[in-house]
A and B are shown apart, each in its own frame.
Chain A
Amino acid sequence: MSLGIKASGQAKAADTVKGGVAPSVIRRLSLMGFLDSHPGLLGWFLAGPTFLLAVGIVFYPILYGLLVSFYDVHMLRAGVPKFAAMVQGLFGAKVEGLPKFLGLGNYLKVFTDRQLQRAIGASLILTSINVPLDLIFAMIVALVLNQDFPGRGIVRSVVILSWATPGVINAILWKLMLRSDGIVNGVLLGLHLIKEPVTWLFSTTWAFFWVIVANLWKGSPFSALILLAGMQTVPQELYEAAEIDGAGPWARFWNITLPHLRYPITLLVILGVIGGLTSFELLYILTGGGPANSTLVMAYYVFNHAIQWDNLGYSSALSFWLSGVVTIFGVLYWRLASRRDEE
């Protein structure tokens, strides 16, 4: 059998090589020879592992999560529910050890969940302050980097440095600086701007403020680089012509630069909204959701239900709600990005 395959594989390969069979063809491994003559199998032989890893390990958990969302699951107390049992339970079968079937109960619970409404509020406040602030700040940085001045390369590198910092390190850095014996208090005391150390992260207003500052530190460089790339595609003649016509810097920015940046700005807004709605690690480390749950944003709330409060079913339903909203923005992003690629 294997000999037959080997022979036919080589015969076919040999046919494609004009001018006779090279000697090394004879030594070729039988599997490789076989695959060469069957591109369909070769393709899956090469791409299959990646497909299984990337798609299998994403869609199976999602399907599992979907099943869990229809049940009242408390995994740490009652054990992990089995996939097959939950499918059977869906069709009304009585399986031992199956958690209580709730149907859409978990999905409907969101409308009466007071704490969730606060989490949504916190997410919306954070996103609606962060996105415009990030854009304005990034625009200033990009405009500066677009000027000709000595040491421009160094400034660019410094800006990239904070973008290159992993999100978790960003959170740890600010947490350290904001301790009551930290450097933020140290500098402000030294400048006599405050009289005694402030416990920044224990005040609702200040906690929000510093979350936004830390977000800006890590996020704005990326936005600035995207905007800068956009600015560099604006034809220089337009500025020269406008200057001859007597347009000042502000008029040039408003009438030439900004219209050219419509596309990157839209993308950054969409990305910012997605990032804002799903932000987790900065809040987890910096504020722990506090003070008094004021910074307990949506992703954090989902996380708490799953991990801290052992409420897996409800947490799954919540994450489907949240993901639905995020996916709308994700699809918007991809449609915009791919339309741009076609142009």
Chain B
Amino acid sequence: MSISASRRFLGVLTAIAVILILVFYLFPYWWVITTSFRTQDEERAQPWVFYPNPVHLDNYEAILFKNSFDIMTGLQNSLIVAAATTVICVLLGSLAGYAYARIRFPFRGLSIALILATWTIPWLLVMIPLWVILYDLKLIDTKQGLIIGFSSGFVPITTWIMLGHFKSLPTDLEDSARIDGCSRVGALFRVILPISTPAIMAAGAYAFISSMGEFMFSLITTTTTKSKTLPIVLASLVGKFVTEKTIMAAGTIIASIFPVVLVMIFQRYLIAGLSAGAVKG
């Protein structure tokens, strides 16, 4: 086979592969998005119509304004827990990241090694006893319990993101702030953190995305709509045939929109962090 023929053959092969890849990865999303805009009857119609016509917003209306199947309550719980976790993780992660990047103190190496080592511990080993402890403290089925568990799980990675960022900053700015009379903590808050927005956003995005998608810990520590997060609400609905698929589809879109958009924006930062987190399983 000549080189040009082999190139053409590769081109055709690539084109076929691209189409198959697009169909495989896109189909579930195409189906769930279009279904969320259909009515019950349209969804059941045979044969399946490729796109919704006309577009109905009934499912979103039912979720957002009538709170069907408590999906809206779940979303509220998810957002509150994720927001609190994000604030805690970013704040504590920034302080600790700064300390590990710039200050020499006793047991510095050992303590950061222990913090990072918590990544490699399988979650199962921590979650079930933590569930027992929270049960004993009457923190089961509370948002506080979820926030404690999530913050503990996600703060090592936000610390690591901030640590890497602070190491890359030149020390000049900080030095000049201190000559002007700032304390180290003052310089951190007034000078260093304001110019660290990209790293803070990446760390925050990581904590937020992880909180919105967490499943197992939420499953064992929540029992009522007081604290059930959106993934738990949806998971308990999905097996039941009484739940309308169109409503479920809209709920799924609502649950994935925040994490998916954030991942698309911050993908560069997150690939490293999530590959480390993957060890946790």
Q: Which residues of A approach B to under 8 Å, CB–CB?
A: 17, 22-25, 27-29, 32-33, 35-36, 39-44, 46-47, 49-51, 53-55, 57-58, 60-62, 64-65, 68, 75, 80, 140-141, 144, 147, 149, 151, 155, 157-169, 171-177, 179, 181-183, 186-187, 189-190, 217, 221-222, 225-226, 243, 248-249, 271, 274-275, 277-281, 284-285, 288, 299, 302-303, 306-307, 312, 315-316, 319-320, 322-323, 326-327, 330-331, 333-334
Could you tell me if A175 and B129 are in contact, using CB atoms closer than 8 angstroms? no
B residues 180-205 near A (Cβ < 8 Å) are 180-186
With A and B bound together, what is the CA distance between A50 and B111 in angstroms?
10
Could you tell me if B215 and A168 are in contact, using CB atoms closer than 8 angstroms? yes
Could you tell me if B25 and A158 are in contact, using CB atoms closer than 8 angstroms? yes
Q: B93 to nearest A CB, angstroms?
A: 7
Since A47-B111, A147-B10, A312-B128 are in contact, a sample of 14 more A-B pairs with Cβ atoms closer than 8 Å, ordered by chain A residue number, is A47-B100, A55-B114, A57-B149, A75-B135, A158-B26, A168-B231, A177-B28, A217-B28, A221-B25, A222-B274, A278-B123, A299-B124, A303-B128, A306-B128
Total chain B interface residues with beta-carbon distance under 8 A: 103
- Note all chain A residues with C-beta closer than 8 A to B108: 43, 47
Could you tell me if B185 and A51 are in contact, using CB atoms closer than 8 angstroms? no
For residue B220, CB closer than 8 A to chain A, the reply is yes
Choice from B47, B126, B267 contacting A164 with Cβ under 8 Å: B267
Could you tell me if A144 and B181 are in contact, using CB atoms closer than 8 angstroms? no
Could you tell me if A323 and B105 are in contact, using CB atoms closer than 8 angstroms? no
Could you tell me if B151 and A319 are in contact, using CB atoms closer than 8 angstroms? no
Knowing A22-B181, A53-B151, A158-B25, say if A175 contacts B267 (CB, 8 Å).
no
Could you tell me if A62 and B126 are in contact, using CB atoms closer than 8 angstroms? yes
For residue B15, CB closer than 8 A to chain A, the reply is yes
Closest to B124 in A: A319
21 pairs from A and B in contact (CB 8 Å cutoff): A32-B184, A36-B184, A43-B105, A47-B95, A50-B115, A53-B151, A57-B149, A62-B121, A64-B129, A64-B132, A141-B21, A155-B18, A159-B25, A173-B32, A189-B46, A277-B281, A285-B235, A285-B238, A302-B124, A312-B128, A331-B120
User: 1/0 contact trace for B1-34 toward A, CB 8 Å?
Assistant: 1010010001100110110011011101101100
Say which one of B52-60, B63-71, B255-263 lies at the interface with A: B255-263
Closest to B263 in A: A164
Q: A303 to nearest B CB, angstroms?
A: 8
With A and B bound together, what is the CA distance between A159 and B20 in angstroms?
12
Q: Which of A35, A39, A284 has the most B CB atoms < 10 Å from its CB?
A: A39
For residue B146, CB closer than 8 A to chain A, the reply is no
Q: A174 to nearest B CB, angstroms?
A: 7
Q: Which of A68, A173, A177 has the most B CB atoms < 10 Å from its CB?
A: A173
With A and B bound together, what is the CA distance between A169 and B256 in angstroms?
7
With A and B bound together, what is the CA distance between A284 and B95 in angstroms?
38
Choice from B28, B181, B271, B281 contacting A24 with Cβ under 8 Å: B181
For residue B213, CB closer than 8 A to chain A, the reply is yes
Q: B237 to nearest A CB, angstroms?
A: 9
With A and B bound together, what is the CA distance between A62 and B118 in angstroms?
11
Closest to B103 in A: A43
B residues 155-210 near A (Cβ < 8 Å) are 155-156, 159, 178-186, 209
For residue B252, CB closer than 8 A to chain A, the reply is yes
With A and B bound together, what is the CA distance between A34 and B41 in angstroms?
71
With A and B bound together, what is the CA distance between A126 and B139 in angstroms?
36
B residues 110-140 near A (Cβ < 8 Å) are 111-112, 114-115, 118, 120-133, 135-136
Knowing A32-B183, A175-B238, say if A54 contacts B21 (CB, 8 Å).
no
Q: B130 to nearest A CB, angstroms?
A: 4
Q: A236 to nearest B CB, angstroms?
A: 16
With A and B bound together, what is the CA distance between A43 and B136 in angstroms?
33
With A and B bound together, what is the CA distance between A181 and B44 in angstroms?
8
With A and B bound together, what is the CA distance between A280 and B215 in angstroms?
9
Knowing A144-B21, A173-B28, say if A54 contacts B155 (CB, 8 Å).
yes
Could you tell me if B238 and A46 are in contact, using CB atoms closer than 8 angstroms? no
Could you tell me if A25 and B95 are in contact, using CB atoms closer than 8 angstroms? no
For residue B242, CB closer than 8 A to chain A, the reply is no
- Note all chain B residues with C-beta closer than 8 A to A326: 122, 281
With A and B bound together, what is the CA distance between A222 and B133 in angstroms?
35
Closest to B7 in A: A249
User: 1/0 contact trace for B197-233 toward A, CB 8 Å?
Assistant: 0000000000001001101100110000000000100
Choice from A17, A186, A316 contacting B179 with Cβ under 8 Å: A17
Choice from B21, B132, B209, B239 contacting A175 with Cβ under 8 Å: B239
Could you tell me if A330 and B25 are in contact, using CB atoms closer than 8 angstroms? no
Could you tell me if B100 and A173 are in contact, using CB atoms closer than 8 angstroms? no
Could you tell me if A157 and B264 are in contact, using CB atoms closer than 8 angstroms? yes
Could you tell me if A333 and B279 are in contact, using CB atoms closer than 8 angstroms? yes
- Note all chain B residues with C-beta closer than 8 A to A42: 99, 103, 105, 184-185
